[in-house]
Each structure stands twice: as C-alpha cells, then as structure tokens.
Amino acid sequence: MQNTVPTQPQVGPATADPDEYLAFLRDRRELILQRASEAARRSGRDLDQVGMLAVSKTVGPDEVYLAWQAGYRAFGENRPQELRRKLAGVAQHPDMAGVRFDMIGNLQKNKINMVLGNVTLIHSVRSTELARAISSRSVSHGVVTHFLMEVNVSGEESKSGYTPDQARADAEEVAALPNMQLDGLMTMAPKNDPDVARETFNGLRQLEEELRTRTGRPLPVLSCGMSDDFQIAIEEGATLVRLGRTVFDPHHDLK
C-alpha cells in the first residue's frame, strides 16, 4: 500500500543467524529466478530481458549486504532517508562496488537533493511539477536523471501517479526537460486480483507503445510486478520487477 510506512526493523532477520538467513536468500533467489524464467518462456520472452530489483525498504543494511552476497545487484528504496542509511551501509563493504539503488517511492521536492546522483533510476515521478523540480536540480548538480512516469493505470483511488490521459498529455514535455531522461513507465496493480493485475500491466505496455510514438524516445523500461504478481507482469512485458517480501521475508508464500 502506498501509504504504509514500513517499520524499520531494529533486529532484522540477519541478526539471529546470518548464515541461515543467507542460505534462505540464496534458495529463495533460485526459486524466484525459476518462476521468472517460466513466466518469460510462457510469453516467448527471454529472462535476460527482465531485470530484478530487490526492494529493501523493510530490512536493514545487514540484510542488504547478505542479499548482495546471495547475488542481488540492484535494490529499491522508497524513502530518501532509508536510501541514505543503506548507502552508508554499502560504504562499509568495498566488495559492494557497483551496487545499484533505485528510488521507487514518493519523492518530496525538498528531498530531491538526497537522491540525485545516488540512484540509477527514479521510478516514481508522479507529476510534471515534480519532474520539473527534479530537472532544475539536476541541471544545478550537473547530472542527468533517468526516470519513469508512474501511471495509475487501474484508476484505483488509493494509487498515485498520472492518469493515462495526463501521461499522454504531458509525455512530450517531460521527455524534453533538461538533464532528464525518460526511460519508460511504472505502475502498481491492485492487490489480490490476478485478472485486474494482468489488465493493468497490459494497459501500461500499450500506453508505453503510444508514448514511444508521441515522444520519439525508445522507452526501454516497463517497471511493474511485485511479490504477488511479478509472474503475470513478466508475461505482460515487464522489463523490471520490484520484489520486496518474496526476496526478504521467509514467511512470504511464493506461488
């Protein structure tokens, strides 16, 4: 849920028995890759076309390091303060050079400077006003910021993001903003309804095709699919899935 602020674990799963937790992370990763590969095959795609973000917002830096050891190379955070805490953790581990972090959550304008230059991709640009603000700060920092427009495809009220019509209307403008590179679209599907999730992801992909024509940009990234619906998302064309619980939580039931 968009509004749920994850609680920061004081004692994460890594504290009790790091070796056991690492073994869990490795086994679970194998299973996730297997499920992802089956989903890719069902839709005639290759697993190489699908990237995976381990969403680390509910775990601490120790768990992130173990996840790195288990093979994850890219992480997603939804709060700038948490991002900063994770980056401080990474700095303790020289072998984590090259780790990728993406911003996937609500970004307030006064926090933009905390993420600029620290993330590979911002998934959660929900308004053109925010895009303009990121652009002007990117210009002053001398960086180019890669981003996605977050679209509320399903129209669920609790979800944020552009409506598809707003995205159509504003895509050309945001794609042309200085020091900004529009890489594609992101969405979240309503929970617990596989059919609606499929329609949502399919709608996102169709919208992306339209926006390619409108903007003349390649828009290579389709960011959709979470722990409970990533297999559907891959079948519908996701190029980047964002997995939290199924990566880090031994109690998550991976179907």
Ligand X SMILES: *Cc1c(COP(=O)(O)O)cnc(C)c1O
Binding interface with ligand X (CB under 6 A)? 55, 57, 78, 104-105, 188, 226-228, 242-246
Q: Nearer Cβ to ligand X, position 139 or 196? A: 196
Tell me how far, at minimum, the Cβ of 91 lies from ligand X, in Å. Answer: 24
Tell me how far, at minimum, the Cβ of 156 lies from ligand X, in Å. Answer: 14
Tell me how far, at minimum, the Cβ of 66 lies from ligand X, in Å. Answer: 17
Q: By Cβ distance, which residue is nearest to ligand X?
A: 244
Q: If you search the block for the tokens 């992480």, which residue do you land on?
A: 75
Closest of 56, 37, 61 to residue 48, by C-alpha: 37
Q: Nearer Cβ to ligand X, position 175 or 226? A: 226
Q: Nearer Cβ to ligand X, position 188 or 222? A: 188
Q: Nearer Cβ to ligand X, position 30 or 173? A: 30
Task: Give the ranges where the chain is alpha helix by DSSP (H).
Answer: 13-16, 18-42, 61-70, 80-90, 112-115, 128-141, 164-175, 194-215, 230-235, 245-248
Q: Nearer Cβ to ligand X, position 21 or 169? A: 21
Tell me how far, at minimum, the Cβ of 152 lies from ligand X, in Å. Answer: 12
Tell me how far, at minimum, the Cβ of 142 lies from ligand X, in Å. Answer: 28
Exposure string (b/e) for 9-25, b if CB count within 10 Å is 16 or more? eeebbbeeebeebbebb
Cβ(96)–Cβ(74) under 8 Å? no
Cβ(236)–Cβ(202) under 8 Å? yes
